[in-house]
Amino acid sequence: MAEHDRSAALDSAAGPVRSLLSVRGLEVHFPIKQGLVFDRTVGHVRAVDGVDLEIPQGQTYGLVGESGCGKSTLGRAVLRLEEPTAGEVIFDGEDIAKLKAEPLRKMRRRMQMVFQDPLASLNPRQSVQSLLIEPLRVHGLAVADRAQFGADSSASHLAKVVSMLELVGLPRAALAKYPHEFSGGQRQRIGIARAMILNPDLVIADEPVSALDVSVQAQVINLLERLQDLLGLTYIVIAHDLAVVRHISDTIGVMYLGRLVEEAPSDALYERPLHPYTIALMSAIPIPDPVVEDRRERILLKGDLPSPANPPSGCRFHTRCPFRQPTRCDTDEPALRELTQVAPGRRVACHYAEEILSGEVRVRDADLLIEPVR
């Protein structure tokens, strides 16, 4: 019954949606090495430490969290640009984490990445034409493009490149140019064109707009949305603040120290964040209405993110949690569980999620509140 409720919440009216990507128990630990001549492993950075998630075909999953919480590492591990330490990444029925080199290379045409720093992600010595043709040289035109552009040849590749360029809003004259000659927004369009030219199924955009001027951020987000509609893409969009992913995401996952702490449909999450960490993140977003802005309680997150090499015991958030309770919080690790009774379709990793929702558990630590200004 609970299962049914959850999928109902995720589905649009069209009926059950096939899951394109499911991640189970994914862990990525980086060894910390020390030693002058011979390296010794003295510990591990648990960048991603047990993540489960499920993304239906055609949907957008927004992944948010503070800097260093492991978002990029998770994204890279899904594409296996980083070797997972443990866990499964099932993409369209196949475990990416177990693929051998050659099948993996072939599979790459179906999963692409858009990078945070567009200049760093483009080889400075390649012209736009060479940047965009390169993926086609490796994999050939996508089956869907064959009808329009014909069999693989330099001419059909170039035709596809030109049409892709147009799709992302760059003129044909850009072909002969080099990345350093463009503005940040234009470069990101090139990066997006490059990721989309193979007609992938899944695109992971790692902070696609955080390096851009505020004035062009919306344009790039809109472009991503337009391409999704046009090409039927499934997205994971990574961001460090909730505002960026709000409109584009169907589901949002909030990460803290290598784990998901809350996952909910985008609107529900904004309306009523349940995990204390999400509540704190939300209270950091300014509200345009000055009256509401002045009245609401603001929660301040104390301290820095603890080291992922040595995460706190019990609930990882307990060192900074304004709702922390005397029992369980610092001893038992809360699982990411669905709140079937009170909020079906939402998953929260907090022992006291129900009580926080009902108002039984309130902010304890007065220091953590910025009192409303009158």
Partner 1 sequence: MTALDPAQSARPASLSALMGDGMSDEQGTSLWRGAFERLSRNPAAIIGTLIVLAFVLVAIFAPLLAPYEPAKSQWIDQVTPSDVPGPSPGHPLGLDPFGSDLLTQLIYGARQSLIIGVVSTAIGLLGGALLGGVAGAFGGRVDTFVMRLVDIMLSIPSLLLAVSVAAVMGPRPGAIMIAIAAAQVPVFARLLRGSMLAQRGQDYVLASFSLGLRRRTVVMSHVVPNSLGPVIVQATLTLATAIIEVAALSYLGLGASDPAIAEWGRMLVKAQDRLQTDPQLMLLPGLCIAVTALGFTLFGEALREALDPKSRR
Ligand X SMILES: Nc1ncnc2c1ncn2[C@@H]1O[C@H](COP(=O)(O)OP(=O)(O)OP(=O)(O)O)[C@@H](O)[C@H]1O
Residues binding ligand SF4 (CB under 6 A): 276, 315, 317-318, 321, 323-325, 329, 334, 350-352
Quote the DSSP letter at residue 350: -
Q: Which residue is nearest to Mg ion (CB)?
A: 72
Nearer to partner 1, 121 or 251 (CB): 121
84 binds ligand X, rule: CB under 6 A: no
CB of 328 to ligand SF4, least distance (A): 7
CA distances in angstroms from 94 to 30, 103, 107, 250, listed in the order given: 25, 11, 10, 24
From candidates 191, 200, 308, 322, binder to ligand X by CB under 6 A: 308
- Between CA 1 and CA 8 the distance in angstroms is 11
121 binds Mg ion, rule: CB under 5 A: no
Beta bridge partners of 86: 27
CB of 323 to ligand X, least distance (A): 23
CB of 101 to partner 1, least distance (A): 8
Q: Give the containing element (helix H, strand E) for 338.
A: strand 337-339
CB of 349 to ligand SF4, least distance (A): 7
In 10 A of CB 351, how many CB atoms? Answer: 22
Torsion region of 313: left, alpha or beta (phi above 0 gives left; psi -120 to 50 gives alpha): beta
- Between CA 305 and CA 126 the distance in angstroms is 39
- Between CA 220 and CA 189 the distance in angstroms is 7
- Between CA 71 and CA 62 the distance in angstroms is 10
Residue 217's binding partner among Mg ion, ligand SF4, ligand X, none (Cβ under 5 to 8 angstroms by kind) is: none
Nearer to ligand X, 162 or 305 (CB): 305
CA 12 to chain centre: 21
Nearer to ligand X, 77 or 197 (CB): 77
- Between CA 353 and CA 356 the distance in angstroms is 5
CA distances in angstroms from 374 to 81, 288, 289, 365, listed in the order given: 51, 17, 14, 21
CB of 250 to Mg ion, least distance (A): 22
From candidates 72, 186, 249, 266, binder to ligand X by CB under 6 A: 72
- Those residues with Cβ within 8 angstroms of residue 65's Cβ, 6 or more apart along the chain or in another chain: 71, 240, 254, 255, 256
Residue 215's binding partner among ligand SF4, partner 1, ligand X, none (Cβ under 5 to 8 angstroms by kind) is: partner 1
From candidates 19, 59, 60, 72, binder to Mg ion by CB under 5 A: 72
Residue 44's binding partner among partner 1, Mg ion, ligand X, none (Cβ under 5 to 8 angstroms by kind) is: none
Q: List residues near partner 1 by CB under 8 A.
A: 76, 79, 81, 105-109, 111-113, 115-117, 120-125, 127-128, 134-135, 138-139, 169-171, 173-174, 176-178, 180-181, 183, 185-186, 191, 194, 198, 209, 214-215, 217-219, 221-222, 243-244, 246-247, 285-286, 288
Q: Give the containing element (helix H, strand E) for 53.
A: strand 40-56
From candidates 55, 60, 71, 356, binder to ligand X by CB under 6 A: 71
Asked if residues 28 and 70 have their Cβ atoms less than 8 Å apart, the reply is: yes
What is the per-residue binding string for ligand X in 236-255, x denoting contact by CB under 6 A? Answer: ----x---------------
From candidates 3, 15, 36, 67, binder to ligand X by CB under 6 A: 67
Quote the DSSP letter at residue 96: G
CB of 211 to partner 1, least distance (A): 11
68 binds ligand X, rule: CB under 6 A: yes
From candidates 19, 59, 60, 73, binder to ligand X by CB under 6 A: 73
CB of 297 to partner 1, least distance (A): 19
Tokens of 332: 């038992």
- Those residues with Cβ within 8 angstroms of residue 50's Cβ, 6 or more apart along the chain or in another chain: 25, 26, 27, 87, 258, 259
Residue 345's binding partner among ligand X, ligand SF4, partner 1, none (Cβ under 5 to 8 angstroms by kind) is: none
Nearer to ligand SF4, 64 or 202 (CB): 64
Beta bridge partners of 24: 88
Residue 72's binding partner among ligand X, ligand SF4, partner 1, none (Cβ under 5 to 8 angstroms by kind) is: ligand X
